[in-house]
């Protein structure tokens, strides 16, 4: 029988666990699907590493998501359905936009019809030059020409390369800027003023966490109510908002005013003076 050589015990230990504990689809807690150990020799000594892999307790959720993605793919690629709908419609208003997940990655350009909400073409591009976008729009133009469907307008975010490509491929077709980007630029001064006002308001709301820590020592109905108010204040501070959506500074002011009015009503019922 072969003799096994003795190995020193690990002096350090680290556990690699998933960052998420709940499934994003069903909300259930993940169960441990894999649990393994390994000893690794490093310059600092021997490390005992533990790997924990978790999976959703409802495998049907993943199955349903995959089936849903397949159905969406089939619907988008159903050219006969899109052809019949566009021909019945008679004309289209194209919307062109690109989505870049991260710097250095490919940009997913999507061309869709604003009237029918149908996606006509989606393709990743390494660059967003005028030549790349021109080739993209020419392919859409050829597709619509076969269907005998006219292009009556184009909507985009107003980038210079997009404007040049649209003017080259669709001369004489009106090119309008997207309402979201138009309103975002128009309300930019108001958004900056609202953000500065929110910064000044947040300075007056510091010190919520020390109050919560002090209340943890004594569990009383009053302390629980105060902790609820502290939680409402902290929740209000996390809503940053996005232009041109409702201003986050005004939303914070309204929520803090509601909290203050609620505290005032409680004090009036108890016969206390308002602080």
Averaged over successive runs of 10 residues, the pLDDT of the chain (275 residues) comes to 52 60 63 62 68 63 71 78 88 87 76 89 84 91 89 89 91 87 80 84 81 79 83 78 73 86 82 50
Two structure tokens written together for 135: 């080739």
Angle at 255 between CA 248 and CA 270, to 5 degrees: 165
Quote the radius of gyration of the chain (alpha carbons, Å): 29
pLDDT attached to residue 153: 92
The burial of 172, by beta-carbon neighbours within 10 Å (0-12 exposed, 13-18 middle, 19 or more buried), is given as exposed
Cα gap 192→83, rounded to integer Å: 46
Sheet bearing 31-42, strands edge to edge: 12-16, 45-55, 31-42
Phi, psi (degrees; rounded to nearest 5) at 33: -95, -25
Two structure tokens written together for 158: 């107003």
**Cis omega (within 30 of 0) for bond into 195:** no
pLDDT attached to residue 78: 81
pLDDT attached to residue 275: 41
pLDDT attached to residue 1: 47
**98: region left, alpha or beta (phi > 0 left; psi from -120 to 50 alpha):** beta
b/e code 232-257 from CB counts within 10 Å (16+ = b)? ebeebbeeebebbeebbbebbbebbe
pLDDT attached to residue 83: 86
DSSP 8-state class, residue 29: B
Angle at 232 between CA 193 and CA 206, to 5 degrees: 60
* Domain topology for 78-178: Nucleotidyltransferase; domain 5 (3.30.420)
pTM for the predicted model, two decimal places: 0.51
Two structure tokens written together for 175: 């090119």
């Amino acid at each position: 029988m072969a003799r096994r050589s003795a190995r020193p015990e690990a002096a350090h230990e680290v556990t690699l666990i998933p960052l998420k504990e709940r499934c994003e689809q069903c909300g259930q807690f993940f169960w441990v699907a894999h649990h393994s150990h390994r000893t690794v020799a490093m310059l600092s000594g021997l490390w005992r590493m533990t790997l924990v892999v978790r999976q959703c307790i409802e495998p049907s959720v993943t199955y349903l998501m995959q089936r849903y993605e397949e159905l969406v793919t089939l619907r988008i690629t159903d050219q006969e359905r899109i052809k019949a709908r566009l021909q019945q419609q008679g004309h289209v208003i194209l919307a062109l936009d690109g989505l870049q997940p991260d710097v250095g990655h490919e940009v997913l350009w999507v061309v869709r019809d604003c009237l029918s909400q149908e996606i006509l073409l989606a393709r990743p591009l390494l660059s967003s030059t005028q030549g790349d976008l021109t080739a993209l729009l020419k392919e859409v133009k050829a597709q619509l020409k076969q269907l005998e469907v006219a292009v009556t307008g184009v909507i985009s975010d107003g980038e210079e390369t997009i404007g040049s490509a649209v003017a080259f491929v669709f001369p004489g077709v009106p090119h309008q800027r997207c309402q979201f980007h138009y309103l975002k630029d128009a309300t930019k001064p108001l958004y900056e003023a609202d953000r500065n006002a929110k910064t000044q308001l947040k300075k007056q709301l510091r010190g919520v966490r020390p109050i919560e820590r002090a209340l943890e020592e004594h569990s009383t109905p009053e302390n629980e109510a105060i902790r609820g108010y502290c939680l409402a204040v902290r929740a209000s501070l996390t809503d940053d908002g996005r232009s041109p959506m409702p201003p986050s500074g005004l939303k914070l002011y309204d929520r803090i005013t509601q909290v203050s009015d609620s505290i005032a009503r409680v004090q009036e019922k108890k016969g206390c003076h308002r602080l």
